Amino acid sequence: SDRTFTMIKPDAVANGHIGAILAKINEAGFRIAAMKYTKITKDQAKKFYEVHQERPFYEDLTDFMSSGTIVAAILEKDNAVADFRKLIGATNPAEAEEGTIRKEFAESMSRNAVHGSDSDENACIEGAFHFSGTEIF
């Protein structure tokens, strides 16, 4: 079965939405292969979002992602990457479809509740960033 990587971002954690977001993930048929409640440093956030380093929002994004606790998880399901991106909805919550996680829980483009990997390759890289082999089941 395929895997994707997700983070429940600091806004959604601070707003008390961990349980509701995990329920939606569960209802959509994903199995949790790994999960942790954690926090990343500014340097780790910069490394994680390295592909965006030339973008104007890079500083704000990495400040935000290192500003509070997050939930990191590896999710398993057939077609995991594409199906999870469908479940989370558009990056900008104003454009997210009804029923998506971002429609329900995101505050703005930068405080958009969840991350979802955009390819199988990145799912693998991002999962390995947060979990060692013995933490993935």
Catalytic residues: 115
Q: 35 by DSSP, 3-state: which? A: strand
Out of 23, 26, 53, 57, the only residue in the binding site for ligand ATP (CB under 6 A) is 57
Q: CA-CA distance, 24 to 66, in Å (whole number)?
A: 25
Residue 130 sits in the site that holds ligand ATP (CB under 6 A): no
Q: How far is the CB of 19 from ligand ATP (least distance, A)?
A: 21
Residue of minimal Cβ distance to ligand ATP: 91
Eight-state DSSP code of residue 80: H
How far apart, in Å, are the Cα atoms of 40 and each of 16, 68, 82, 124? 19, 8, 26, 18
Binding string to ligand ATP for residues 87 to 116, with x set by CB under 6 A, is what?
A: ----x-----------------xx-x--xx
